[in-house]
Amino acid sequence: MRDLQLPIYLDHSATTPVDKRVVEAMLPFFTEGFGNAASRNHPFGWKAEEGVDYAREQVARLINANPKEIIFTSGATEGDNLGIKGVFEMYARKGNHIITCVTEHKAVLDTCKALEKKGAEVTYLPVNGDGTINLEELKAAFTDKTILVCLMFANNEVGIVHPIKEIAEMTHQHKALFMTDGTQAVGKIPVDVMEMGIDIMAFTAHKMYGPKGVGALYVRRKNPRVKVTAQLDGGGHERGMRSGTLNVPGIVGFGAACEIAQQEMEAEAKRLAALRDKLETSLLQIEESVVNGNVDSRLPHVSNISFKFVEGEGLMMGFNQEIGVSSGSACTSASLEPSYVLKAMGLDDELAHSSIRFSLGRSTTEAQIDYTIEKVTKAVNKMRDLSPLWEMHLEGIDISTIEWADH
């Protein structure tokens, strides 16, 4: 393992490094093609606009959309806000009911919470123990006031993939629009908005080896023609849906990232799934370890594993100088709350706190996975050696029945 470079990055669901080919595509637009894409009177603006138009085609091609259906944004959070708030305002006459799910990204949940203050009725569907939703419960949630169903394509913490086509069909039977947050899926697995019946989809460049600060909202133009009200007012850029000077270098990079993903995604998914399976199989050799989420319908590069009787944050300290992963516990500045996604799946606080998400990417090698297996195994065993709870477990004591004395 001498050629192994440390630290190892296994947090690709958080962000990805920008592909060198993407950087190359972007560079000229900082210095030569620096014009404003909305300056239509001279070659500087034309060159910038040309770069944006080409990128719009590249982005659209990856998801099988029409370039005119791509609205450039600053990222998926803005896209989620624009899609959900834009539909709520545009279709207010038809109804005020939105259906979503408790394990959505905060960009969806917090947007829905904000709309509840403005009169929206929101149904938050629960999830099964493996993170999937019950389609019967979805069916029962529709009312004659339902205007939007917003369910993510793939979950960012456990990697499960929802049955998007079935959900879209059900949504359309009830004359509502279907929106998905495609952030974790686009560029990793096939996403076809036409075939799957997606009406609106937010996604972003930095999860697929593009730059940060640029994303897109797909808004369907035909069958049905979808409209969203603008959330940023100004010069009426992006067909009036999103004003603001376009981030030309970012958009060009986003386009290049989409084209590369389209060419390499299939082979890369196979490679990463094999490495992910190797990592999982080895780490599950550790006593009392368990994979969280549905293992039959999930992203190829993500694995979320709980190691019982070990605290995830503490565990990571054992190797975080060498391996970058994320804990199932979302760190908020004031407290260490266990992941709301894992809690919604029925994990207790202890188990939710003991989980780690490994997300692999283009730079991940087999040597890195071998090193990670060795390091994580050592760290888990070391922490358990120090844990009185582990000792009690080995003695056959059911820890959940213990009543702890108050001091």
Find where tokens 């359309």 sit: 172
- Are the C-beta atoms of 191 and 67 separated by less than 8 Å? no
The three-state secondary structure class of 355 is strand
Catalytic residue among 101, 112, 258, 331: 331
Length of the chain: 407
Active site residue 331: yes
Quick one: 199 exposed, middle or buried, by C-beta within 10 A (0-12, 13-18, 19+)?
buried
Q: Which long-range contacts (CB under 8 A, 24 or more apart) does 385-391 make?
A: 387/309, 387/310, 389/309, 390/309
* Burial of 23: CB neighbours in 10 Å, binned 0-12, 13-18, 19+: middle
Contact assessment for residue 261 and residue 187, using Cβ atoms and an 8 Å cutoff:
yes
Nearest Cα residue to 17 out of 182, 185, 208, 202: 208
- Tracing tokens 């981030």 back to the chain, one arrives at 247
Please give the torsion angle defined by the CA atoms of residues 74, 79, 80 and 85, in that order, rounded to the nearest 10 degrees.
110
- Is residue 120 within 8 Å of 98, Cβ to Cβ? yes
Distance separating alpha carbons of residues 292 and 130, to the nearest angstrom: 7
- Active site residues per annotation: 331
